Structure 1
């Protein structure tokens, strides 16, 4: 591949990621931030899913807007179901660390296990919502099934996400969500293909 072809390829992908990031920010604000986060992130993964299928010519704005509208209620229901246990886990950590005792350490161990499950869910829930049409509870269960069925893949994705968040700076920080959504989509999509063909 020649230099100008490489530059064209890089420029094309950077521009796509920038536009997707701006769309995410715009629609998140349009949804009032709190109610806009889940449908905007789901819409971002829907765009990545189109790219993963080789449909790079599909309109990003049209796909994003259509998914945002279609998934607005259902994605926020999923978000609520995930936020509640996340807050409880956070309160448990805070209480146990402030009041150490044998019982507190037992609670801390179980809370750590719950937190790990929540992290697995966060890896898979957005790709699941952009791939499948089910109720919020069914989508959460399906995301958990995929995550537990592929433990090494799940662990690898979580480690890469943690490393990216901790160490990336500059333009890569601006493209945080779009890059991570592209990476996660490419990592977990084979799980969905194997399920559909089984």
Structure 2
């Protein structure tokens, strides 16, 4: 019982930490893009990173994968 409970709290804390890092990356990239131009690409990168997590790719470096999607799709996402 204790091992399962400890494992649950460990896994939950990892997810909370990942989400905190993702939110900081989102906010930093919004500011990097000059607020108005950075909002849509940062949000698209946020969803792309979350989608990769849901497909089981949890070991990706958050900042690098987020920034790569942001940089590649900056003008596409602003075209929306």
**2:65 corresponding residue in structure 1:** 63
Higher-Rg member (1/2): 1
Tell whether the 8 Å contact from 1:46 to 1:63 is kept in structure 2 after alignment: no
TM-score (ref. length: structure 1): 0.39
Paired positions, count? 78
Report the CA distance between 1:3 and its aligned residue.
1.4
Provide the C-alpha distance between the structure 1 equivalents of 2:64 and 2:51, rounded to a whole number of angstroms.
14
Which of 27, 31, 34 aligns to 1:32? It is 34
Aligned ranges 1:159-170 → 2 under 5 Å: none
Aligned Cα root-mean-square deviation (Å): 0.9
TM-score (ref. length: structure 2): 0.93
Structure 1: tracts of 5 or more residues without a match: 79-198
Provide the C-alpha distance between the structure 2 equivalents of 1:72 and 1:23, rounded to a whole number of angstroms.
15
Which of 1 and 2 has higher RCO (CA within 8 Å, sep 6+)? 2
Report the CA distance between 1:59 and its aligned residue.
1.1
Structure 2: tracts of 5 or more residues without a match: none
